Amino acid sequence: MTPTTSTATATTIPTGLPAPPFVWLASQSPRRQALLEQIGLRFALLLAGPEEDAEALEALRVGESPTQYVERVVLAKAQAARERLAARALPAAPILVADTTVAVGGKILGKPVDDADARRMLRLLSGRGHRVLTALAVVRGARIEHLVQVSRVRFARLSDAEVEAYVASGEPRGKAGGYAIQGRAAVFVRRIEGSHSGIMGLPLHETATLLRPELTATQRAGTAPQTTASPTPDDAR
């Protein structure tokens, strides 16, 4: 997939940040953090502060397709992250932003608002196929490169008991589509086509393509990945 480009300066590096080159990750998702560590990319967290309404960015708009939705949300998050970096006078480095949604046909399944909503989503996914769309954006100064990766997943038919047990586990909370493929929901999956890491929330092939210079430099240096939090949540998958 070819990234789309749409069109802040270095400061003294605070103690505790990874050695350059590193990237800012504008996500609190532990899965995205683990996936970046898996490929050896150094990163620091650039999380939304309490004054930011991160949930408002994810509100659905009437008539939006799933692709339009994830593209709009990831670009809005990218702009917010760029402004956050400048406001906190943090060192310039690429900012990685991601947003994931699940779609059945043209119907978008976001994060369940409660257990009843999670049950509704799981019953809708039961015995049928759906798409998982993850939009990525990388901010480099005034430029934003972005793309959308799409995977297809087919669930087995779920019994009421399986749905109830899964909801009771608490795992659907905060997950797009009400499930986590890296968790207990893995047993529901009959087939996937696309990127397993993309279904988790961060397609690694596309991420590595967008961040090739930083990843190559880190690998050449032969250093272990480092993670540092920038004071202060944003998305779960």
By annotation, the residues acting in catalysis are 99
**Which of 143, 130, 110, 134 has the alpha carbon at shortest distance from 207?**
134
Q: How far apart are CA 201 and CA 140, in angstroms?
A: 21
DSSP string, 189-224: EEEEES-HHHHHT--HHHHHHHTHHHHHHHHHHTPP
C-alpha to C-alpha distances, 33 to 50, 63, 180, 191, 202, nearest whole angstrom: 21, 33, 15, 25, 9
Number of H helices, E strands in the chain: 8, 9
Q: How far apart are CA 94 and CA 224, in angstroms?
A: 19
